[in-house]
Structure 1
């Protein structure tokens, strides 16, 4: 029987761009370019390595997001994933991590799975809670923050590295795992992979396909929301110390005044 691997990926605003809040205090995604979250690339990579070591495996990438989120799926498909699922619905606007985990869990169940792989966190929200929420909703074990992962005889095994020690963990499938940015460099899509991705299937689902009511997601259904935001003030000119024999003293006085020393 084929090993069914589902990788959750996120389309995030480019961290190098100039990001702003929209009028409803959600991220203004129209004002900045987006891309596949870098930390999710490690999850895709580990899924592909597991699939390559298995006798028969299929890798599906799954995302929840606007129309442009298909770009994240295409990147994962060009890396080598077999197919993709895009959950898109206007009522999803403003959904928080709790609501997103509901949508992803319903989609994962509908798609069918043996192993779910996530990145350690998204590069925009950086909450890192989604794998645990998914495991709870799916009712399966979670093995998180792995720097090494493998699957053998219906068991997922991995190593979690801490500050003082490393742990060897395992769980029976089905299970949810997350991998860190120390799990191995993600492969770069080849030209052949990019061309092949254009022919790979991308399914589009909405809330009705997952039997989810609009009231359970979006801003109205969110457990967390931004109440107010103030734009960061522009940088002011720094203090220039001209060394005319007293530069060291002036520098020391400045550092002391800022309580750096």
Structure 2
């Protein structure tokens, strides 16, 4: 019988969609022994990398991590798994897309692919999860794959309200596939240069420029005004081509 690879799925509150997809049989991860590891909210912020492993730095966060993991794994060491998936992990790519789509859609402005590449590199280097992954890679992690957990779902909240995406960048609803493709390509090249895999958002799930089709919103999204979390079906769509 062929040996199975060890897969760790690390993330923030978006990790729940992956776990539900796996438990429902929407994802099978053929050939992998799977463990989940991570935390939500403030407990996620208390996870840091040091001495070869990701660890929770507060008792409350450690309790959450152990609950999520279910196998008593207090630390996620760089050499313990064959593959690490960083799911969600607060990449905040909607901020990147909104800023540069607004530029591309302005007839009086333009941006080159070289400038986009520099912007993508700088943006990702500012993400704490990317820096943690770089340290893991330096300490022997074999493969790390980043997965974006999706643009906000359309129609769940009023995106034109102050502080939301359309308040500062109203043109983004006009963005077309070719605009998005330039940004995905820029991000993909940076992840590739860093030695990481990357799974962006499938084009068929995008509506209104850079929002997620509400059919993929988490259950009860309208009642909870939760435009950020997605359904198990969405998580399965992202991961199954790579892992099934």
Same structural fold, with TM-score higher than 0.5 when normalized by the shorter chain: no
Whichever structure has more strand as a proportion of its residues is 1
Whichever structure has more helix as a proportion of its residues is 2
Given the two structures, how large is their TM-score scaled by the length of structure 2? 0.33
Decide which structure has the larger Cα Rg and report it.
1
Given the two structures, how large is their TM-score scaled by the length of structure 1? 0.31
